Structure 1
Amino acid sequence: MSSVFSLLDEKLQKELEKRSWQPTPIQESAIPQIIAGSDRLLIAPTGSGKTLSAILPVINRCLVEQWEPLSILYVTPLRALNRDVDRRLQEIGESVGLRVGLRHGDTTQSERAKQVRKPPDILITTPETFQLMFTGKNLRELLKTVKAIIIDEVHDLAASERGWQLSLGLSRLEALSGNKVQRIGLSATVGNPHQVAKWLSSDGEAIIETGKRVTEIVVETAFPETIDETGGI
């Protein structure tokens, strides 16, 4: 495979070849940087392949670095997006031996208990459910092993109260794990990408593939970049 996909684990390469997928421009730009562990905001039009631009290299890191479950969080603001992402991630995850879980307000108690007993490698959730995970002892233990978080529809979150809460959650996550957690944001419509990239992470940079629409947003950070977690959560 003589494209950026050649950087990926052999299991992923075989799956991509089976589907006859070819890399898109945003994937060519983003995959090497995300494999290297960089925090990035990916901005590209709908249908450009930006979701896979984040998913593929993070799954690659999980396989190559042998991350233990739970290792990847995928946060989306809408449950409808949860279901769509769940379908795509299930297909890719199962093909390389990774388990994918979905957790939001409608998730049954039996499924929630199952996720604690046998954590998935990848968990898809909403910003609100992500925050609630800090309130339970068993769930906090799960979060300690998270190595990467992907945040979809960043333009809907960064300038809102949900964005302030998510910013706090990101800081709490790193304080809880004691390690750097890779942060990746996805959006189709951000008019001030570099400011939003810094909201996502102090080390964040934007990767942009030009689209027709942009949305200028005002970012306000209500919480510090890092917090002291010694008091427990």
Structure 2
Amino acid sequence: MTDPQETNGPYPADGSNSINGSVVNVLSSSGIVRSDIRSSFGISTNTAPGVPLTLTIKLANTNASCAGLSGYAVYLWHCTRDGLYSLYSSGVQNENYLRGLQVSDSNGELTFQTIYPGCYSGRWPHIHFEVYPSLSVATHRNNAVLVGQMAMPEGISRTVYAGGSGYSTSTSNLNQISLSSDNVFGDNTAAQLAQQTPSLTGSVANGYTGTILVGLAR
């Protein structure tokens, strides 16, 4: 199944919007190509705290029996455990952590090391991503062949928010939203939501690892 196109939201830093009149594009920054996105680079060396999450993404060609797509680039970003976005939100606008770019291997796979995202008011907990046909063109939102979002699994989200340090507001925010009322995931089918939800295992103490399949018609 091909993943649905979604909005890149207000905090993409992919060249498609501005802050105070200046275009924000972290894709043009030296150091953005990395697997571990927990720390800032260039402008800061601070690390985003939170429950560790290691996520492997497989890009699959739905026009070729879901064969892996090698050499594609994925830009991934998400909020902090407090629901803030680096480069945009007050308090973290001088950070660029929780953003990174990776290239898929011969199996169409790539891995990010990050933290479990928090849940902020009005949105289901999620991770943003954009897929580009190559690293050389992964320089601006206009070149993306897919803009998607991952829906974090409810059970694990509740476990992280109840037991992970610093996630104090996420449980109450999650209680006020559902997948059906979310303004991004609400119009998706059950099959689409299943594909958009990572399969995760682990614990708050040891962190979580998981996988997700992203389908593209190429």
TM-score (norm 2): 0.28
> Which structure has greater strand proportion?
2
TM-score (norm 1): 0.27
> Which structure has greater helix proportion?
1
